Structure 1
Amino acid sequence: MSRDVTHLPPSTTDPETASTNVGDGDGSSGASTSKLEDRQRPSQSTLAGPSLPEGCAYGTLAKVDGDGKEAETVIWVEFAPGSRDNPFFFSKWRKVSITACATFFTFMTAYTTTAYSISEESMCRDLGCNNLQFASGIALYAWGFGIAPLMLAPLSEEFGRRWTYATACFLFFILHLMMSLAKNMATVLIARFIIGCAGSVGATLVGGTISDIFIPAHRGLPMAMFGFCAVFGTGFGAVTMAWVEVEQHLGWRWIQWIQFIILGAFFPVCLVVMRETRATVILRRRAAKLRKERGLSDGGRYLARAEIDKVKFVTAMGQSMTRPLVFLATEPIVTFFSLWIALGWGVFYTQIAGIPYTYRKLHGFSTTQVGLVYLCICIGAIIGFAGNFIQEAIYRKRAAKRGVEARLYAPMVCGVLFAVGCYINGFTSIPSVHWIAPCIGLTCVLAAILIIYITSFTYLSECYGVYASSAIAGQSFARNVMGGAFSFLTAPMFNRLTVRWSLVMMGGFATLLAAVPFVAFVWGPQIRARSRYSKMLMAQEREQLDKERRARVSRGLDVHDAEDLEGDANERGEHELDEGQANALHLVPSVAEKIV
């Protein structure tokens, strides 16, 4: 896999025009190549002999040296059909355990958001901080969530998921100790930002991990579990920790100690359960191991295709760190879905920061009663999760006709529900209206946000294949920067505009952005057809599945794990766009090249 975002993935590179470097496995560059002659030439990509390890096959690689062109014999290292080393075809138990571990981490990163917000009274009393300083802790956590993935997601794509998870879990665990022992607000705020950076792995990397181990047709349920944990955990943190907050001898420090204990038990589980899921990393490591063990004894150098076009670490990281921002700025799919979910997350953080303000001032609720209001978030998450099963059934029925856009039926409904929920919540947030009315509006908002959240991850993961984590990192940056900003603005906005009109105003923004899934549903194929990255990365993923399916059929194996529900439907955007659309969309790759 090329590390440069402006290059195409090796499996989609034009074999007649490719100019690449072959690495020797230690990060240095090898021979410059002008052509991958074995691509699409069966005579030069011969069947592996009996002496070769399973999945390996002979090929030739044309290289150019000072004296001209000559061919080098190489042995391509790939996964054998149905191989359990291929993350797409891990055993069911391994997939379930990895998904459970990753989504529990998501749950805990969400849990700590409102577990902190419910502790305002005791923390301000003990540390002498004001409301704005306390709200800074919510904002810094969100901003850590948004900024860190710009580095962490590309790092995991280049060097593997497993140790990224392990490092993040450890930091998330140990920094809760720093929070528990904090003697001043400065320490709390520093810890909150770093905890947010570590916790961001539980938000952005999980989507990439699910894309690693589940083929597109099977991503619906695990993505729904991931989204459910992210939203349900947010509500559950305040519901449970409100009872700790009201105890004078416990308060905010024990809120942090309890999380520290839970994470201490989870960390060793993470080390045992998590496995490397990045296919290119697995193949590179296998190729390096074979080169060390067998050398040239089999008549060629063992090489993974991901080692082609190997560049220096610093260069690769610079390119990888800009990729999420390039996607966010130049890929319309990423841009508009990010704006949509960013507004949703802004409303979400307004509720997190504003529920205590609203229900204490308007309805005179105690701390435990305020904690129970957060059950609306949990109920909304359950409703949204149930709605996802309806969406999944529609997807399986309509995928062959609509392609990846078949995932947008429920989001089209939920975009409208999101706006309606904001209006209900806003217009009923006055003392003369019973408190249950704004709770109903809040529940509608959260149910809609969950579907939008799941969609933004699932749709982007399908549109950007192996670069799913980078696309999601760009979206996460926009989402969490907006969420953090809203947590700062909530109290001043409520004071100036009142709770009622603040939420009604958000309903107006939600109404405008409700058009996003409708536009994607109608014009998504054309937009993707003009996007260099989405078009090629989707083609690469489909090519891999087609190859696996053909190999399984030839061997009489079950093809369920390689099914392609979408088929040719994703290619229906090749017809002509009007001149204005075509000119706008053609700017995407050219602008990206200039940025990178």
Structure 2
Amino acid sequence: MASSAPPGTSSSSASSHYDLEAGNQQQHAAPPKPASSSQQRLSYPTKPVKTLSLVFDMAGIDDDVLTHPYPGQGTPESPYIIDFLPGFDQRNPLQYEQWRKWTITCLQAMATLAVAFVSTAYSGGIMSVIKSFDVGTTVAICGVSLFVFGFAVGPLLWAPLSEFYGRQIIFFITYMALTVFNAGATGSKNIETLIILRFFAGAFGSSPLTNSGGVIADIFLANERGPAGGIFSIAPFLGPAIGPIAGGFLGESEGWVWIEGLMAIFTGVLWIICSLFVPETYAPVILRRRAAKLSALTGKVYISKMDMNNTSTKWQQIRTALSRPWILLFREPIVFMSSIYIAIVYGTLYLMFAAFPIVFQQGRGWSPGIGGLAFIGVAVGMMVGVAYATIDNKRYVAIAAKSPDGNAPPEARLVPALVGSILLPVGLFWFAWTNGASIHWIVPIIASSFFAAGLVMVFLSLLGYLLDSYTVFAASVLAANAVLRSLFGAAFPLFTMNMYENLGLHWASSVPAFLALACVPFPFLFWKFGARIRMKCKYAAEAALVLERMRREHRVIGPEEAMEEIVRLETIKSQTQGGQQQGHGILDLVKSITHTGGAEKEGQEKKNEEKGQVGSDNDSTMEGSSTGPEGKEKDEKDLH
């Protein structure tokens, strides 16, 4: 994305690691010094490697890799520890040629756009579905809702599985399934078959929504990711907007069968191209494959550097990946409020796909094809929102550059959300009260562009805020957010028809506007009190401490180790308080923060200065040991 990862955007499982530069830069940590450092080569000759070789020979074993002096003895007790070769390694995704990086970026963006396109192109043939199967509008709309519901189910599986098996194989299997289900839907003999196949298409097709952002992070350094993220972030927003346009004209002339056929052709072509030209980019999987192949070739024991401290089993990590998002969603006020806000605006977007045919086709007598053109306003607004977020990212980078540690506070991400939170209700109320047939059609279309721009600003900004606030737990936070917004996106279109029939054109369109208006305070609350809220949120506070430890120790800490630290501190706190109930409700938390006086804060800072501990609370928490009375007392003080 422009300032963060796309809608949804990147995401990884519980086993993913987070380091200061994000992505897989953890591979650049200095390896243990070999016994014979004089033999170590600082660089290797650059030999062009063919794309098909990257795709089908992930390990890339050559003489340089085979003869490199890896640290270790090659035994089960002291295995050889492998990393990418120093200097240059052709299989290191961060060292791909620029043309290859941009080819991969564009292909991943197209794969994501195609999934978003498929989710809404179906709406252009709803009238054809109603006539073919003799069903009501609400039943026909289930084809959209269940496809989006698949977005809530799929990412919980594809993100963690990509950590173990790689992004390449997961894409190959899931995108092939998406194509097969799209093709199978063309032969549906009843509405039940069509809807079920749409659900499975959404569930399998959701893998690029979570994993493609990870691919971008795999191949670009954090300070290089802005332009690539800007291009990529357009895809998940532009796809839903152009889907009804193409679907409307094709549905009007050929019917819903050819819409499904177009989807199958579109995704099938991309499946073939991406499978042949996008190699595996996830560094731990590449090194794991290289270690296995070296072990098989030499008879010695090799292990990836990134697997050294991984003690949990594959299924334990998958189980954690499925449970932790719900813990964060319902126990962290920042995650809960941000996810609710994003879910409402995301649900409103899909409500529009059911409302526009009512407003423009039934209300104004437009044909399905011409009615689809009404979404041009949404498409333009989304591109404006992405452009604004991209430009605003320069402000964020400038703030980070001025910071002593080179990192801007998470609240610096919120400026687009402040603007977008105002544009959302303005655009929705404007649309609601100008969508009658007596007012020129361009007016509600312009209004929809304001809504779309606000949606993108809020979406990108709040996702970036969550990423910066939860760092090592970001994958679980994004998974929780993706599930909740997909549930809203699936549910909102289902009640659209009844809502418009019962409330009328204007008041029905005003319902999402009032919801957006109710959410306006959220980003302003985070902007003013975010730092204090995060310190009162257990996981956000721990993530900040883990990040500080990573900066200090120059090493990578995974979510499992961070979770162990939380459990340890939680145990100390419960022992100290005698099992007293932990945490705050959202309202109590907000009250406690807003009633905290500045004098109290200044007094605390003065006390800390007297003790010589200003700015060292995080260090003491992470450095303090619970071994002995002094260590335990230190942990208890820092925790409180």
Q: Report TM bin, short chain.
A: 0.7 to 0.9
Contact 1:463 1:537 in 2 (8 A): no
How far the C-alpha of 1:197 sits from its partner, in A, is 0.3
**What's the counterpart of residue 237 of structure 1?**
243
Aligned counterparts of 2:30 and 2:181: Cα–Cα separation in 1 = 55
Give the AA of the match of 1:277: T
Q: TM-score, normalised by structure 1?
A: 0.76
Give the AA of the match of 1:276: E
Q: Which moved more, 1:117-126 or 1:458-467?
A: 458-467
Contact 1:154 1:470 in 2 (8 A): no
The 1:83/1:461 distance shift into structure 2, 3 A limit, reads farther
**What's the counterpart of residue 76 of structure 1?**
81
Deviations 1:258-312 (A, max 9, x none): 222222222111111222222222232223333333444xxx8544332433333
Deviations 1:43-85 (A, max 9, x none): 9887756279778753699xxxxxxxxx954443223356453
Q: 1:535 aligns with which of 541, 544, 552?
A: 544
How far the C-alpha of 1:350 sits from its partner, in A, is 0.9
Aligned counterparts of 2:144 and 2:550: Cα–Cα separation in 1 = 38
**What's the counterpart of residue 56 of structure 2?**
none
Give the AA of the match of 1:87: P
Q: Mapping of 1:549-588 within 5 angstroms? A: 580=592
**What's the counterpart of residue 350 of structure 2?**
349
Contact 2:82 2:302 in 1 (8 A): no
How far the C-alpha of 1:200 sits from its partner, in A, is 1.1
Contact 2:83 2:304 in 1 (8 A): no
Aligned counterparts of 1:94 and 1:180: Cα–Cα separation in 2 = 36
**What's the counterpart of residue 185 of structure 1?**
191
SS at match of 2:438: coil
Q: Which moved more, 1:302-311 or 1:163-172?
A: 302-311
SS at match of 1:472: helix
Give the AA of the match of 1:487: P
Contact 2:145 2:489 in 1 (8 A): yes
Aligned counterparts of 2:283 and 2:31: Cα–Cα separation in 1 = 24
Q: 1:50 aligns with which of 39, 46, 71?
A: 39
SS at match of 1:58: coil
Contact 1:180 1:254 in 2 (8 A): yes
**What's the counterpart of residue 420 of structure 1?**
426
**What's the counterpart of residue 61 of structure 2?**
none
Q: Provide structure 2 residue ranges, at least 5 long, that are not aligned to the other structure.
A: 1-11, 21-28, 42-63, 557-588, 595-640
Q: Mapping of 1:460-471 within 5 angstroms? A: 460-463=466-469, 468-471=474-477
Q: Does 1:268 align with 2:279?
A: no
Q: Does 1:122 align with 2:128?
A: yes
The 1:580/1:275 distance shift into structure 2, 3 A limit, reads farther
Aligned counterparts of 2:299 and 2:528: Cα–Cα separation in 1 = 53
Q: Which moved more, 1:273-282 or 1:52-61?
A: 52-61
Aligned counterparts of 1:10 and 1:232: Cα–Cα separation in 2 = 29
Contact 1:76 1:303 in 2 (8 A): yes
Q: How many residues of Structure 1 are paired with residues of Structure 2 in the alignment?
A: 511
Contact 1:157 1:469 in 2 (8 A): no
**What's the counterpart of residue 592 of structure 1?**
none
SS at match of 1:76: strand
SS at match of 2:39: coil
SS at match of 2:135: coil
Contact 1:11 1:540 in 2 (8 A): no
Deviations 1:453-507 (A, max 9, x none): 3334444445555765443222110111011110111111122222322332322
Aligned counterparts of 1:244 and 1:578: Cα–Cα separation in 2 = 51
Q: TM-score, normalised by structure 2?
A: 0.72
Deviations 1:430-462 (A, max 9, x none): 333322222121111111112233334444445
Deviations 1:407-432 (A, max 9, x none): 32222211211121111112223333
Instruction: Provide the identity percentage.
Output: 27
**What's the counterpart of residue 439 of structure 1?**
445
The 1:579/1:434 distance shift into structure 2, 3 A limit, reads closer
Q: Mapping of 1:263-412 within 5 angstroms? A: 263-296=267-300, 302-400=303-401, 401=403, 402-412=408-418
Contact 1:48 1:57 in 2 (8 A): no
Aligned counterparts of 1:536 and 1:128: Cα–Cα separation in 2 = 59
The 1:279/1:467 distance shift into structure 2, 3 A limit, reads farther
Contact 2:413 2:462 in 1 (8 A): no
Aligned counterparts of 2:317 and 2:34: Cα–Cα separation in 1 = 29
Q: Which moved more, 1:287-296 or 1:501-510?
A: 287-296
Aligned counterparts of 2:173 and 2:87: Cα–Cα separation in 1 = 33
Give the AA of the match of 2:367: S
Q: Does 1:474 align with 2:480?
A: yes
Deviations 1:534-565 (A, max 9, x none): 33665588689999xxxxxxxxxxxxxxxxxx
Contact 2:291 2:302 in 1 (8 A): no
Aligned counterparts of 1:290 and 1:518: Cα–Cα separation in 2 = 54
**What's the counterpart of residue 611 of structure 2?**
none
Contact 2:532 2:593 in 1 (8 A): no
Aligned counterparts of 1:49 and 1:100: Cα–Cα separation in 2 = 42
SS at match of 1:438: helix
The 1:579/1:453 distance shift into structure 2, 3 A limit, reads closer
SS at match of 1:219: helix
SS at match of 2:265: helix
Aligned counterparts of 1:48 and 1:326: Cα–Cα separation in 2 = 47
The 1:340/1:244 distance shift into structure 2, 3 A limit, reads same
SS at match of 2:71: strand
The 1:214/1:463 distance shift into structure 2, 3 A limit, reads farther
SS at match of 2:100: helix
Q: 1:199 aligns with which of 201, 205, 212?
A: 205
**What's the counterpart of residue 579 of structure 2?**
none
How far the C-alpha of 1:191 sits from its partner, in A, is 0.6
